Amino acid sequence: MTLGPTLSERLSRARGDLRMGVPVALTLGTGAALVAAVETLPPDRLADLRRIGRPELAITARRAETLKARAYDGDLARIALPDEADVGWLLAVADPVDDLRHPMKGPFHALREGDATLHRAALELAKSAHLLPAVLVLPLPPASPLPEGVTQIDLTGADLRAAAQFTPVVHARLPMEASQFGRVHVFRPEDGGEEHYAIEIGQPDRSKPVLARLHSACFTGDVLGSLKCDCGPQLRAALQQMGEEGAGILLYLNQEGRGIGLANKMRAYALQDQGFDTVEANHRLGFEDDERDFRIGAQLLRRLGFGSVRLLTNNPKKIAMMQAQGIDVVERVPLKVGQTEQNAGYLATKAAKSGHLL
């Protein structure tokens, strides 16, 4: 039926459900499970899930490492839910905020038998909903009816990491401090997800390499003038250079906090105040250092007619990702601005652990 939602639309709906604390149903072959995000799960829904069966807690191997739980599935750990565990217990496992005050969480009974495919998909969904990567998974016996009204996703043949396709929605002129000749383009994915923007300066010649910047959203740096990172000065310096050269393209990608969302980035900041660096903080939360999908940037550049760039960046991974996605990076243009006393440690960590060029 053409009126019903497609797989990617269902996934988007499922993200909304998880953010609201509503469980979703994942199925794969004869297997099925109800899934809820720990961060948003209300006590009455936990009680309902317990009435149906025995929920399991899934966390990423990154979080499991901090908690000293065994990750038998490699990239994730499945933990049996103790009888006395309530939403407070679940949150304490998911959220590292009080790890230092309560270092002895556990011991955890990690599960070894059975299949982790649905757990893995559930964690992927929670991450893409910008929730903490911790989910309750309630396996359902084969052929048992799924609760009415619950969003159902059949994962057979599904690729949760498939790149969304973006469509240009509108573009309009925007005179800016950096250039009189600015133009903002808005791109929207077909699945109801995050929109991204392209800021075109002047009228870049599509047949030549364009001065380009892929900027990931940083609310704290771009808007608030945070001294903890260099994002705001980088954003303005990139636009200024494009203005001076008379042409350029800046992608403003809504991938806040290297793709973990603002709430999780603020959790990471709270951990940084406890002494962890930017990479360690992500790991303790259960994320990888960088959860961004750089395919989006490449797709938008292509849609705008650019195949070749002079990329403003200090991040060699961005260059490699663009090349891998078929965008020719003919030159790296360094972007070194905004060093402060407060971000010296952050920038040093990025150089030491993430390979950033100094």
Just list the catalytic residues: 290, 292
Q: How far apart are CA 132 and CA 40, in angstroms?
A: 9
Number of separate helices (H) and strands (E) present in the chain: 12, 13
Subset of 228-287 contacting Zn ion (CB under 5 A): 229, 231
Q: Which two three-digit tokens encode residue 60? A: 């990423």
Tell whether residue 231 is among the known ligand binding residues: yes
Integer angstrom CA distances of residue 259 from 50, 52, 161, 192, 335? 32, 34, 14, 17, 21
59 forms beta bridges with 77, 134
In angstroms, how far is the first alpha carbon of the chain from the final one?
55
Tokens of 136: 């309750």
State which residue, 96 or 139, has the beta carbon closest to ligand GTP: 96
Q: Is 78 within any annotated ligand binding site?
A: no
Minimum Å gap between C-beta 336 and ligand GTP is 9
Nearer to Zn ion, 22 or 218 (CB): 218
Q: Is the peptide bond before 107 cis (omega within 30 degrees of 0)?
A: yes
Q: What phi and psi values does residue 140 have, to the nearest 5 degrees?
A: -110, 145
User: From the list 118, 297, 313, 321, which residue makes contact with ligand GTP (rule: CB under 6 A)?
Assistant: 313
- Given Zn ion, ligand GTP, none, residue 257, with its beta carbon under 5 to 8 Å by kind, binds ligand GTP
Question: From the CB of 231, what's the least distance to ligand GTP, in Å?
Answer: 5
- Smallest gap from Cβ 264 to ligand GTP, in A, equals 7
Which of these ranges, 65-73, 98-106, 170-178, 214-222, lies near ligand GTP under the rule CB under 6 A?
A: 214-222
Residues 215-274 binding ligand GTP (CB under 6 A) are 215-218, 229, 231, 234, 255-258, 260, 265, 268
Would you call 315 helix, strand, or coil by DSSP? coil
Q: Which residues of this protein are in contact with Zn ion, per CB under 5 A?
A: 218, 221, 229, 231
| Binding positions for Zn(2+) | 218, 229, 231
